[in-house]
Chain A
């Protein structure tokens, strides 16, 4: 019987049926660090169960949450996309997704957060900035940029330091 709250077990039966897919999955698991394996096999199922109880998730939602956690632990999903992914896959509002993401990162991932940061930097070098902490911070969807002003205020570009350049990095 599959444990839907286990990020490891959730798709293992499906993957086992295809040797090629299994090999990819198995290699990702075997190449993971011991504490990540431990979290995936023993800690995450209980934590996911609590989340499911807290937010009253269905089995499908619980299974999807396990998959999201697995993908983040394997480095297949960018942690910055966690809120949006949870919101979309579990079909919940962004506010709840944001709340749940923060909870997962601060509680479930806490013992392995440095390992996750390292992995995320390797897998998504173009998306993760130099600041490690910000990489693990789930980001809200950005509002659309304001329309370009036809007559922009004159800026002395030679004397004024454009702080906006650094504010996003």
Chain B
């Protein structure tokens, strides 16, 4: 309805304006009491309007000049005071955020957990107190740019007046005396229209130039809240919005001034531009001739074009400034992201660049989540997912839920995982990590070292204890895979004493028997063999087999130990059908059964000393050889032809076989004395 009314009004005004062209334009001669003609009234009206517009333009240009010179930043008491209130309020919110973060972490609420928020939380907690300073810094930085244009332009009103020459819009003669016949009235109308355009454009610019200051102040005041909104993922949009507005309103002025500067630059060169377009001299330039012959002012095409141009620049500059700054504001995030990306790609010592470092930190954080603290004590405070899995397994074990020994299986799995991670590490590095870090990692390192035969006996025992000894399956498995031959006698003795696992003890005792770790004196050896055979083995045959492992170290002790056990009925030794228990019988029976290589390995003490009386063992071996020689006598050679070589007897061959296997020159010397 309102639109129709406005259209009607515009239509009526247009018709009236059109009809006014057909009114008489000559001045009517009249006396002073005569009423003025219609033309006089119209001319008076337009001149009054023109004058009014001119006055307003003067005021607006002064105001615009002032507005663009106002600095939004600096020490503004009202802004600082209200900012402090909001800053204190924001600091209070931090406490709430901390509590919120704690609960979110406990309940593992996605983006609000400690790990997700702590970095931003700390940054914001610090920077929120500098939000005013940061805001003023941005304003001052933009002001530098603004000052460049202001310095180049000077007073905007003066420049516009200088280049647009508004005096040229007025008719050449005084309105009161000049005849409005011809183009006089038209000239006035054009002058009003053009000056209105100029006024409008200046008003738009003035409005924006003025309101930007309170808006920037408002943004400064609420800056603590904007920073605060950066902490929570869902409120981060407000933080972005704040920066968008803040940058936008700060950049409005330099962008607007840029367009004004560009426009004024064009205006200052208007004659040159026109001439270069039309390519004629200034004096004969048709653009400088009045548009209508009857016009009584200097309304030329030149003037008309540049008035419109100035209006377009003034209004368009404002529009463009708002667009550009909103783009800047919208692009703030993108710019921030781009800047972050650029910074991340800057080469850095040790870590390559920030992006690499970030990836490294992420990987390290992932490892931390998995394994927790490296320090064994701190690991008890936070041991990562592995610790949680262990705790779960321990709980399952306690409540007897699920599979048995869940904790051990979990630990074995973790050790295997850790071993896979460090399998390619060199031995020296492994050794440096052998005693550092969480227990599971230490065990993984030690197991790898054991596989490479790089653990000392003491370290093997230490590792076995770390596994939990015989109380754990992992401990038993570990110690069961150890080569006990690599341990010292003392270490084996300690391990045998410490271990409670029968299988492990049997293995250790067997190695001890083979290595002669049975005590100091021959009597000790007998006791040790007899006691351990009795304790570690239930079957008589197993006991005998165990005792015989010591034959290379103390043959006679094995015979005596067997005799002791046989006499006690704990083993049964037969010589044919007869059960024997005495040392001579057992010795004889044993030697008779032994092959040449086994006899060659019997300890030196059993064989005796060269030149000394023969030992019982020596005598038994000699008897055996002689018996073999009797059983298989030598065959003398035949002279032939062809000659047939002599054939050695069974005893000679057996002796030769013993000699071949001997590795001790003193034993060799004694064995030589055996005569088949």
A46 contacts partner chain B, Cβ-Cβ < 8 Å? yes
Q: In the assembled complex, which residues on chain A have CB atoms less than 8 Å from the CB atom of B646?
A: 45-46, 49
Q: How large is the interface on B (under 10, 10 to 19, 20 to 34, 35 or more residues)?
A: 20 to 34
Nearest to B656 among chain A residues (CB) is A41
Provide the main secondary structure of the chain A interface: helix
> Residues 654-671 of chain B: 1 if any A CB is under 8 Å from the residue's CB, otherwise 0?
001001101101001100
Please measure, in the bound complex, the distance between the C-alpha atom of A41 and the C-alpha atom of B668, giving whole angstroms.
13
Distance from A13 Cβ to chain B, minimum over Cβ atoms (Å)? 8
Distance from A49 Cβ to chain B, minimum over Cβ atoms (Å)? 5
Flag the segment in B193-201, B314-322, B466-474, B635-643 that touches A: B635-643
B268 contacts partner chain A, Cβ-Cβ < 8 Å? no
Q: In the assembled complex, which residues on chain B have CB atoms less than 8 Å from the CB atom of A26?
A: 665, 668-669
How many A-B Cβ pairs are below 8 Å? 52
Known: A16-B672, A45-B646. A30 touches B665 (CB 8 A): yes
From A8, A16, A38, B669 is in contact (CB under 8 Å) with: A16
CB atoms of B668 and A46 under 8 A apart: no
Q: In the assembled complex, which residues on chain A have CB atoms less than 8 Å from the CB atom of B672?
A: 12-13, 16
Q: In the assembled complex, which residues on chain B have CB atoms less than 8 Å from the CB atom of A27?
A: 665
A95 contacts partner chain B, Cβ-Cβ < 8 Å? no
CB atoms of A16 and B665 under 8 A apart: no
Provide the main secondary structure of the chain B interface: loop
CB atoms of A30 and B662 under 8 A apart: yes
Please measure, in the bound complex, the distance between the C-alpha atom of A3 and the C-alpha atom of B610, giving whole angstroms.
21
B380 contacts partner chain A, Cβ-Cβ < 8 Å? no
Mark out the residues of chain A between 34 and 51 whose CB falls within 8 Å of any chain B CB in the assembled complex.
34, 37-38, 41-42, 45-47, 49-50
From A29, A41, A53, B640 is in contact (CB under 8 Å) with: A53
Please measure, in the bound complex, the distance between the C-alpha atom of A12 and the C-alpha atom of B674, giving whole angstroms.
13
Please measure, in the bound complex, the distance between the C-alpha atom of A29 and the C-alpha atom of B663, giving whole angstroms.
9
Known: A12-B672, A16-B672, A45-B648. A30 touches B639 (CB 8 A): no
CB atoms of A46 and B645 under 8 A apart: yes
Nearest to B667 among chain A residues (CB) is A26
CB atoms of A50 and B665 under 8 A apart: no
Mark out the residues of chain A between 103 and 138 whose CB falls within 8 Å of any chain B CB in the assembled complex.
none
> Residues 1-45 of chain A: 1 if any B CB is under 8 Å from the residue's CB, otherwise 0?
100000010001100100000110011011000100110011001
B58 contacts partner chain A, Cβ-Cβ < 8 Å? no
Q: In the assembled complex, which residues on chain B have CB atoms less than 8 Å from the CB atom of A12?
A: 672
Cβ contacts A to B, 27 pairs, < 8 Å: A16-B610, A16-B669, A22-B669, A26-B669, A29-B659, A30-B662, A30-B665, A34-B660, A37-B659, A37-B660, A38-B656, A38-B660, A41-B656, A41-B660, A42-B656, A45-B648, A46-B637, A46-B645, A46-B647, A47-B645, A49-B643, A49-B645, A49-B646, A53-B639, A53-B640, A53-B643, A54-B643
